[in-house]
Amino acid sequence: MQDLSVRFYLASGVVNAVENLSFNVRKGVGFGIVGESGSGKTVTALTIMGLLARPPGRIDSGKILYNGTNLLTTSQEDMRRLRGKSIAMVYQDPMTSLNPVLRVCFQIAEALMVHEKISQHEAEARAVELMSAVGIPDAEKRAKEYPHQFSGGMRQRIMIAMALATKPDLLIADEPTTALDVITQSQILALLEDLQRKHDMTVILVTHDLGIVAQLCDEALVMYAGHGMELNTVKDIFSHSKHPYTRGLLESTTRVDKEISRLSSIPGNIPDMIDPPTGCRFHPRCPLADNRCARQEPPAFLQVSGGYSKCWRSEPT
């Protein structure tokens, strides 16, 4: 992704959802996009898929290169062919993301029928296999059921099965565990990890939970207010992050291995996206901010590992 800018043109103003975002994901890597709600991460994911609601939303600049082709300039037809086949997405809310009037096996089989042109019968058989692969017990019997007959965790698994049906090269998972309880969360994560290894899939994981990123991802991008603040390997981010925002996030998460006397949090609120702060978007809440931070937006300073950090403090001296 290079220099992506997405804005929403609303009656009340223009929302700068994503601004000048750039990152690179290599094949087979687990890549996390981290940020609070409203940071622009879901918008980024949808833009990659080409699912952005185009009337209010507009892609104002940038390129998304997938295997060499710019996704932003590909035709609707071609995008459609990619979607569901090579690039698949698992969505945030399993309760509303499945069609309530269609059988579950059909919904999983649909992508297969469209992209691989096999018969419904065959596709549904594959769907049953997929269902057991994602850990749904009694798959054969339950395949004929409807979404409302499944629990949240099961529905999320169904969605994962749905996304994996065509063995995509790239899987984008948008908060796949937010709506679930902790136990189910860890099960789903284990499942994702397992599947990723098995199929050598590139996974982009969008989340606000650093713990998940630590578990599943090799590299990560931290977003704030539509900007990519820090990009680095997960190890580097966790051990010595260069960006105050990331450090703030790290400090506010609970750790099992360290004793914490008080939970800290980053003071302040997410900025108004129609009228964001000048200069570095984080400066109103940043403990290290100075005048320059308020006036000038920092460029992305490249790091040794190949990542970057968008902070004046990480300027190489």
Partner 1 sequence: MGLPAYVAKRALVAIALVLVVGTLNFAILHLAPGGPETIFLNPRITPAARALILKSFGLDRPIQEQYLLYLEGMVTGNWGLSYFYTESAFNVIASRIPATLLLMVPSLILTVLVGILMGILSVRRPYSFVDRFLSSFAFFFYSMPVFWLGFILLTFFAVTLSVLPAGGMISITTTGFDVVDYLRHLILPMTALTLINLASFSLLVRSSMLEVLDQNYIVTARGKGLSERLVFYRHALRNGLLPTVTMLGLFVGSILSGAILTETVFSWPGLGSLTFDSISRRDYPVVLALFFIFSILTILSNLITDIVYGILDPQITYD
Q: What is the CA radius of gyration of the chain?
A: 20
Angle at 230 between CA 266 and CA 257, to 5 degrees: 60
Decide if residue 178 touches partner 1 (CB under 8 A). no
Decide if residue 57 touches partner 1 (CB under 8 A). no
Decide if residue 274 touches partner 1 (CB under 8 A). no
Residue 295 tokens, joined: 């006036």
Site string for partner 1, 65-104 (x = CB under 8 A): ---------------xxxxxx--xx-x-x--xxxxxxx--
The smaller minimum CB distance to partner 1, of residues 100 and 137, is found at 100
Decide if residue 10 touches partner 1 (CB under 8 A). no
Give yes or no for a contact between 234 and 247, defined as CB atoms under 8 angstroms apart.
no
Give yes or no for a contact between 192 and 176, defined as CB atoms under 8 angstroms apart.
yes
CA distance 232 to 34: 12
CA distance 272 to 97: 28
| Residue in 111, 127, 189, 266 binding partner 1, rule: CB under 8 A | 111
Rounded to the nearest whole angstrom, what is the least distance from the CB of residue 205 to partner 1 in the complex? 16
Decide if residue 37 touches partner 1 (CB under 8 A). no
Q: Looking at residues 294 to 313 of the shown chain, list those that interact with partner 1 (rule: CB under 8 A).
A: none
- Pairing verdict, β 57-63 and 2-10: antiparallel
Decide if residue 143 touches partner 1 (CB under 8 A). no
The smaller minimum CB distance to partner 1, of residues 159 and 231, is found at 159
Rounded to the nearest whole angstrom, what is the least distance from the CB of residue 76 to partner 1 in the complex? 9
3-state secondary structure of 151: coil
Length of the chain: 317
Q: Given the rule CB under 8 A, which of 25-33, 65-73, 109-117, 133-141 is the region that contacts partner 1?
A: 109-117
Query: What is the size of the binding site for partner 1 (CB under 8 A)?
Result: 29
Q: What are the beta bridge partners of residue 171?
A: 88, 203
Residue 149 DSSP label: G
Q: Which residues bind partner 1 (CB under 8 A)?
A: 49, 51, 80-85, 88-89, 91, 93, 96-102, 110-111, 114-115, 145-146, 148-149, 159, 162
